[in-house]
């Protein structure tokens, strides 16, 4: 007999959790989060999970507190005799720290992988990791969903006459090329030099964008400095229009103001992270149907990759 499936959402992903549950065809399970005066967290499940296959939905943004909340949720499930505990982490915090790029730094993504496994997680489902090889940090199954599955159809619906895709930096070329391949389109690259994190010293465009409808492709936007500078630059180089398509809208600090002031026609993103501010230039496409389908295929032991088309 197949174990009973239950879905729960942490405090960072309540809205997305409800959408995933609705698309899956089950209500979200009942969960209480106790918060002590000093901000210590204490999650507890208000219904039995004994013998169940549990899916815990939580993006770790902001990363530290919501990661800890999620780990406590996993521990509570294991101690309550759940059959399997699966994490659905649409956005994985600390994924940008995926290698030693200078001496005496941590590899944050590996630390997070160790923590996730140490509490007894059976499976991780996530989307558009900053670097695909982060999957190798895990010794449990990792289902790595492709955000382009939901954003590419919208780009196609725009019927842009002279479509070309652009990477906002050299490191994103592989991601941009994979997206452009869906359209049989060419790519250009913006090469940037940083003084320090979130601060760009200079940028140049490699490739011709004159008369083209440019679509930048990236996994996330944080302060929006890079994407807005790149958008303005390609317009200076004669582009007809410029958009950006991303998966994870961190949108910290001055991001919204920069997007409004930029020459971006629109920023197309998903709901892996909930929007904290209204912005007419931002179009949000839900990942819920894709996550629900992936959860269903995990439960029925069917292919995940078949969902990406």
Domain 148-285 has CATH 3.40.190.10: no
Q: How far is CA 216 from CA 144, 168, 268, 302, in A?
A: 22, 7, 10, 33
- How far is the C-alpha of 142 from the C-alpha of 297, rounded, in Å? 14
Mean pLDDT for 189-194 is 79
Q: Provide the 8-state DSSP code for 140.
A: S
When mean pLDDT is compared across 177-181, 194-198, 244-248, the lowest value belongs to 194-198
The pLDDT tens digits for 70-127 are 999 999 999 999 999 999 999 999 999 999 989 999 999 999 999 999 999 999 999 9
Predicted TM-score (pTM) of the model is 0.94
Quote the pLDDT of residue 147: 96
CA dihedral 164, 165, 169, 173 (to 10 degrees): -120
- For the chain, how many helices (H) and strands (E)? 8, 16
Could you give the CA distance from residue 40 to residue 282 in angstroms, rounded to a whole number?
A: 34
Mean pLDDT along residues 128-155: 96
C-beta separation of 278 from 243 below 8 A: no
Domain positions in the chain are 5-146+288-307, 148-285
User: Which has more pLDDT, 127 or 132?
Assistant: 127
State the pLDDT at residue 199. Answer: 58
Same fold, 5-146+288-307 and 148-285: yes
Write out the CATH class of domain 5-146+288-307.
alpha beta
> Which residues are known to be catalytic?
192
- Of 200 and 179, the structure prediction assigns the larger pLDDT to 179
C-alpha span between 118 and 92 (Å, rounded): 17
pLDDT bucket at 171, cuts 50 / 70 / 90 = confident
β 163-167/142-145 pair status: unpaired
């Amino acid at each position: 007999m197949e174990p009973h499936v239950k879905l729960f959402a942490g405090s960072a992903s309540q809205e997305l959790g409800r959408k995933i549950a609705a698309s899956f065809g089950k209500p979200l399970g009942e969960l209480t989060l106790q918060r002590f005066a000093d901000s210590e967290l204490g999650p507890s499940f208000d219904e039995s999970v004994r013998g169940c296959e549990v899916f815990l939905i939580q993006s770790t943004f902001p990363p530290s507190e919501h990661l800890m909340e999620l780990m406590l949720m996993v521990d509570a499930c294991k101690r309550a005799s759940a059959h399997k505990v699966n994490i659905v982490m649409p956005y994985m915090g600390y994924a940008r720290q995926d290698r030693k790029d200078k001496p005496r730094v941590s590899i944050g993504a590996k630390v997070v992988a160790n923590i996730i496994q140490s509490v007894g997680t059976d499976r991780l489902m996530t989307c558009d990791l900053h670097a695909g090889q982060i999957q190798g940090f895990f010794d449990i199954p990792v289902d790595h969903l492709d955000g382009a599955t939901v954003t590419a159809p919208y780009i196609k619906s725009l019927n842009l006459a002279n479509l070309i895709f652009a990477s906002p930096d050299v490191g994103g070329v592989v991601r941009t090329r994979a997206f452009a391949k869906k359209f049989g389109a060419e790519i250009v690259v913006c090469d940037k030099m940083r003084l320090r994190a979130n601060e760009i010293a200079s940028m140049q465009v490699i490739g011709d964008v004159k008369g083209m409808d440019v679509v930048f492709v990236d996994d996330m936007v944080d302060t929006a400095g890079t994407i807005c500078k790149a958008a303005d630059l390609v317009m200076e180089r004669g582009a007809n229009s410029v958009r950006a398509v991303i998966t994870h809208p961190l949108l910290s600090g001055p991001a919204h103001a920069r997007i409004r002031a930029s020459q971006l026609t629109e920023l197309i993103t998903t709901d892996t992270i909930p929007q904290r501010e209204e912005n007419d230039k931002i179009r949000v496409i839900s990942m819920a149907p894709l996550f629900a389908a992936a959860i269903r295929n995990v439960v029925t032991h069917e292919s995940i990759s078949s969902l990406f088309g």
